[in-house]
Structure 1
Amino acid sequence: MPPKQDSNNKVKKRVRKSITMEVKSKILKLKDRGYSTSSIGRELNLSRTTVQTILKDKEKLLTALPSVSSNSTIIRKRNALIYEMEKLLYNWIQDQTQRRVPLSLAIIQNKALSIINTLQNKRGENNSDETKCFSASRGWFMRFKTRYSLHNIRVQGEAASADHVAAQSFPGILKEIIESGDYSPKQIFNVDETGLFWKKMPSRTFISQEEKSMPGFKAAKDRLTLLLGSNVEGDLKLKPLLVYRSENPRALKNYVKSTLPVIWKANPKAWVTSILFEEWFTKHFIPEVKQYCSNNNLAYKALLILDNAPGHPVRIADIDPQIKVVFLPPNTTSLLQPMDQGVIASFKAYYLRRTFSQAVKANENDGMELRDFWKSYNILQCVKNIATSWDEVTPNNLKGVWKKLCPFFFEPSESSTSTDQPNVDEITTDIVHLANRLPDIAVTTDDIDDLLSSHSQELTDEDLIELEAQVQKEALESQEIASSISDSEKELTLKKLSVAFANLKNAMKIFEENDPNFERSFNVNNKICAAYHCYQDLYDSKKKEAKQSRIDSFFKPKV
């Protein structure tokens, strides 16, 4: 039956009726008397499908009828297992979308069935009557989209693949934009997000093997998101944006986050949302570019090239008229996006090499086992290693990755060659050598390759369940830490500064007295003195403030 229309030809929304237990009891009695479902529906002014649905629950109704009053209303309550599945599915879809992974209806339906099966297995509810009929139908998906406001998710019959035709034509379009705006390679930028499992070991190490059998949250699944970028020239490496799931982790207690070598932001899923991206664009990207142009005697203007990820709102194009924002064609990120052409891969290899180097040093110098080192490795050390690894990415690397998108900036022979990225295979070999210096560790290049590639893999059902539980737990911990933060707990006093200066002077004295190369020790000492000059100024300022008054000022004069 088509929906009713009013006098203005507007479709009236169908109102769902609440059915009392009294009505349901009548349906059961009429059926026992031999009435058909159609005749019962006509008798009680109900649809035939409604009557059929109620009759299917006959056994449950017979159990409930003696204990329920006749006027009580049955409220439709969604199954708890399906509710939890949808919550995890929503997180998975958002994660896939953040990583620009195209989705089809069939893929989402299969994932929904996979998650609900995993939840049933964990709870021992494989034969649950309430979920065994769940089929992830198209109708369910449309209702699910409405419940979670997934209006920006476009689902096709099949998942889209890389668009090679658009990737071939876009560089020509971009060239016209660059020429019309008269942008130099110094004024053209690209940024891209990437996930980083910052505390993950190769799968064959004993740490990873132990985690597989450990209940609860696994440290290896702890992921953050980074936004990395630079200009074509490669001489402006933007300060990384780091998004973590906790605003106040214990390792950063009493640190002023604005002084970190990254831009620290947080949300429960560690995603770069459109709000965070707009804030980064306004408060960080624009000022950094403006300062760079001023330092290099350039006109203040820039071209920012982005992919069409949902976290990149189109409205940022209207924030500053001097910053033009251009979006790559859909499904061309893997083919054109500069940061995806080698920068992110080399950065992650540098990060892993640095963490293994620190583990080896802790073992050889302090006798610390890898298990203990990894247990003590916290988000503050991770931030330091991110900053150092980002510094290791060279200007040649940053410049070379633009050859596919902007071949017109390179000589023909130069643009036809591979990008100037460092040899990731060589870095992987370094990592293997470092790892195998640790006792009871044996990893291969394949293990390291798998680990590096795992950062871009989708979250499994188990990952989704564990991360959701950890998000809830750490939300409470973060509130407790925030309420206990005290500015006085971390302070450079005059005494602490004096001790630090004495230690530095002793170290420089050792260099000078024992190094036969005077020029080397002399240069090192000068650099060290220049480096901690800011602390000397702080010491002088504090000493001036603490200057004691004359002793006779504390006594009252005699009358």
Structure 2
Amino acid sequence: MSQKRRASHSGVPSGSSTTSSKKTRKTISLGTKLDVLRHFDAGERAVDIGITLGLTPTTVRTIRSNADKIRASARCVTPLSATKISRSRSSLMENMERLLSVWIEDQNQRNIPLSLPVIQAKAKSLYDKLKRDQGEGSQTEMFMASRGWFDRFKKRFHLHNMKMSSEVASADPAAAKKFPNYLKKIIEECGYSPKQVFNVNETSLYWKMMPERTCIFREEKTAPGFKAVKDRLTLLLGGNAAGDMKMKPLTVYQFETPRALKGLSKEHLPVIWRSNKKAWITGAIFSEWLTLYAIPAWKEYCAKENLDFKILLLIDDVPAHPINLDDLCENVKVVFLPPNTTSLIQPMDQGAIAAFKAYYLRRTFDQLIRGTDGEGKPTIRQFWRDYNILKCINNIGESWAEVTQACMNGVWWKLWPECVNDLKGFKDVVPTMKKDILGLAKKAGFDKVEEADVTQLLQSHGEELTNEDLMQLDMMRAVEDEGQEVKEEPTHRNLTAKRLSEAFQMIEAGLQILSDDDPDRERSSKVIRGVGHLMTCYKEIYQEKKRKAKQPSLAMFFRVVTVKEEQQEEQPDDPPSSTSDFTTSAELNNHHC
């Protein structure tokens, strides 16, 4: 047996064995290391910090000497709870994994299945790119993108719902050919009219992107602090097959309140405004949109058109669309399109979204010309620097309004040709817009821009993010996080007795469903007991708030005494009447309410 094991079971004093036995390394979380650095920043001594956090002074000083490396690790997105480490991972690896996670989620958002070899190749490509950019100091680091690394990477970034396949899937013409007959059968059986059948689809919009052969594009790529070319937001666009009802665009941006929206009521924007870190539509956002906006809008529309309130909604089978959407409203039937058929048959992808983006680009060019044409007007560069997210939102609303009813109806020609009234001119919308955009570009002074550049720009909204795009977006977000985003005043939340009571009622209703419907009585009883135990702390808070509400305040006590003394002075010979006592008591009760 090894000497270490013999020493651990012997009575030999520690001083005689430590030289020949290997000490066990104690793992220290990244959060603890950051706590150590915060104590140092506060001016505390290493000995005192060690006593407070249960570490040796030597360990504390070692952490201080690696402060830069630890803070670099903390700036990456790896959760602190998942970062039990005995040594800091290289910033090169952390940066690569952060960018890779963005790329994977972008692929999932666009319903593109990924295979392990494809992810490994992308990881290696990103790693090599970052390694070259960092210079000679990183040349000794090696990365093989092994299967073991991939499994650990998934755990670190909680990527449990990735669409994985043995090979990357392509469009499925066979499924696209069968689906229209399946849809027609549903429509006929349930009696849906073209006014009651809707389709919505997500799309990215690089709202501040210009053709590559323009001074704006070149400056955005090189000017420090200038907005990234691919500053992206995500839109949800859609309407019915009749084309006479377009849904208000749902817009998701990475910041809740950019500087341009400071002081504005988001409820009155021409879009439904939502935000998350990656500017993507999540399952929660989509469910909220369906419940709070779409269903009420459909109900109002059906009433206005004297139609039965029943809706058929066609959507992609993507992670952002939860499978339980049918349960949100009995009047809405949700049908998922077959995988890998979006580009072939999904209505919004057959011309409506393309038309919207063409209208958007034409509108921005037109504004650029009108905003810079004339003496005393800003230059093109100045105008484009001032083109902010609020102007973008207004242009989204106006550009979506420009998409005609004929276009919204015509995009159903592959999926439901019987509902299309007239295809004449429908397919000419985007080519006509391209010519208009090209003419505006020439008028703005962009002589080198050609129609192929406009086509490439319109198509780029759906392209995969390149390594350069990922790095540019990452730099832009870092700048925004350091202070370019408007910081909203913190909201001081407080649990009131009323809100706690409402929560109790909802939780009890949910537990009652489990008790009534779960055939496994032991399981439901265990869950109910567990929830009841966990809710004890909130019940105590509720009881305390109710108790305090019944206690008169000290100020009210003196007020009551003063009122009684004044009444006795006014009528010293008469006993206090019941009316005056009642009035005082009512005042006290009103004060409590």
Separation in structure 1 between the aligned mates of residue 459 and residue 112 of structure 2, nearest angstrom: 15
From 364, 367, 373, the counterpart of 1:364: 373
Separation in structure 2 between the aligned mates of residue 171 and residue 473 of structure 1, nearest angstrom: 48
Separation in structure 1 between the aligned mates of residue 252 and residue 343 of structure 2, nearest angstrom: 23
What's the counterpart of residue 195 of structure 2?
186
Spell out structure 1 runs of 4+ moving beyond 6 A.
none
C-alpha distance 277-265 of structure 1, shift in aligned 2 (>3 A): same
Helix, strand or coil: the match of 1:402? coil
| Paired AA for residue 440 in structure 2 | L
Separation in structure 2 between the aligned mates of residue 79 and residue 425 of structure 1, nearest angstrom: 50
C-alpha distance 362-453 of structure 1, shift in aligned 2 (>3 A): same
From 443, 452, 473, the counterpart of 1:467: 473
Helix, strand or coil: the match of 1:204? coil
Helix, strand or coil: the match of 1:203? coil
State which drifts further: 391-400 or 418-427: 418-427
From 384, 388, 399, the counterpart of 1:378: 388
TM-score, normalised by the number of residues in structure 1: 0.70
Q: How many residues end up aligned between the 2 structures?
A: 416
Q: 1:362-397 deviations in whole A, cap 9, x for unaligned?
A: 222454321111111111111111111101100010
From 224, 227, 236, the counterpart of 1:227: 236
Does 2:443 correspond to 1:437? Answer: yes
What's the counterpart of residue 345 of structure 1?
354
Helix, strand or coil: the match of 2:86? coil
What's the counterpart of residue 401 of structure 2?
391
Query: How far apart are residue 442 of structure 1 and its match?
Result: 2.9
**Runs of 5+ unmatched residues, structure 2:** 1-17, 25-61, 66-83, 492-593
**Contact persistence 2:256–2:275 (CA under 8 A):** yes
**Contact persistence 1:232–1:398 (CA under 8 A):** yes
Query: How far apart are residue 125 of structure 1 and its match?
Result: 4.5
Query: How far apart are residue 165 of structure 1 and its match?
Result: 0.7
Helix, strand or coil: the match of 2:273? strand
Helix, strand or coil: the match of 1:191? strand
Query: How far apart are residue 423 of structure 1 and its match?
Result: 2.7
**Contact persistence 1:401–1:421 (CA under 8 A):** no
Helix, strand or coil: the match of 1:180? helix
| Paired AA for residue 142 in structure 1 | D
Q: 1:24-83 deviations in whole A, cap 9, x for unaligned?
A: 699xxxxxxxxxxxxxxxxxxxxxxxxxxxxxxxxxxxxx9xx9xxxxx99254333212
C-alpha distance 91-363 of structure 1, shift in aligned 2 (>3 A): same
What's the counterpart of residue 133 of structure 2?
122
Please tell me the root mean square deviation across aligned C-alpha atoms, in Å. Answer: 2.6
Separation in structure 1 between the aligned mates of residue 411 and residue 190 of structure 2, nearest angstrom: 22
Equivalences for 1:192-207 in 2 at 5 Å? 192-207=201-216
C-alpha distance 251-285 of structure 1, shift in aligned 2 (>3 A): same
Q: 1:116-137 deviations in whole A, cap 9, x for unaligned?
A: 11221222147543x31x1112
Q: 1:400-438 deviations in whole A, cap 9, x for unaligned?
A: 111111124358xx6xx6882443121111111111112
**Contact persistence 1:117–1:126 (CA under 8 A):** no
Separation in structure 2 between the aligned mates of residue 21 and residue 76 of structure 1, nearest angstrom: 23
What's the counterpart of residue 338 of structure 2?
329
Helix, strand or coil: the match of 1:453? helix
Helix, strand or coil: the match of 2:202? strand
**Contact persistence 2:369–2:444 (CA under 8 A):** yes
What's the counterpart of residue 273 of structure 2?
264
C-alpha distance 196-231 of structure 1, shift in aligned 2 (>3 A): same
What's the counterpart of residue 172 of structure 2?
163
Helix, strand or coil: the match of 1:242? strand
Does 2:103 correspond to 1:106? Answer: no
From 185, 190, 193, the counterpart of 1:176: 185
C-alpha distance 473-400 of structure 1, shift in aligned 2 (>3 A): same
What's the counterpart of residue 90 of structure 1?
101
C-alpha distance 296-88 of structure 1, shift in aligned 2 (>3 A): same
Separation in structure 1 between the aligned mates of residue 138 and residue 149 of structure 2, nearest angstrom: 21
Helix, strand or coil: the match of 2:105? helix
What's the counterpart of residue 300 of structure 1?
309
**Contact persistence 1:397–1:422 (CA under 8 A):** no
**Contact persistence 1:343–1:421 (CA under 8 A):** no
| Paired AA for residue 331 in structure 1 | N
Higher relative contact order (CA 8 A, sep 6+): 1
**Contact persistence 2:114–2:168 (CA under 8 A):** yes
C-alpha distance 154-100 of structure 1, shift in aligned 2 (>3 A): closer
C-alpha distance 443-121 of structure 1, shift in aligned 2 (>3 A): same
C-alpha distance 173-216 of structure 1, shift in aligned 2 (>3 A): same
TM-score, normalised by the number of residues in structure 2: 0.66
Q: 1:240-264 deviations in whole A, cap 9, x for unaligned?
A: 0011111111111111000001001
| Paired AA for residue 403 in structure 1 | W
Separation in structure 2 between the aligned mates of residue 21 and residue 348 of structure 1, nearest angstrom: 72
Does 2:283 correspond to 1:283? Answer: no
**Contact persistence 1:269–1:471 (CA under 8 A):** no
What's the counterpart of residue 58 of structure 1?
none
What's the counterpart of residue 415 of structure 2?
405
Separation in structure 1 between the aligned mates of residue 205 and residue 401 of structure 2, nearest angstrom: 17
| Paired AA for residue 303 in structure 1 | L
Q: 1:121-178 deviations in whole A, cap 9, x for unaligned?
A: 222147543x31x111222222222332222213222101111111111111111111
Separation in structure 2 between the aligned mates of residue 335 and residue 448 of structure 1, nearest angstrom: 23
Separation in structure 1 between the aligned mates of residue 85 and residue 458 of structure 2, nearest angstrom: 53
Separation in structure 1 between the aligned mates of residue 19 and residue 258 of structure 2, nearest angstrom: 52
**Contact persistence 1:217–1:467 (CA under 8 A):** no
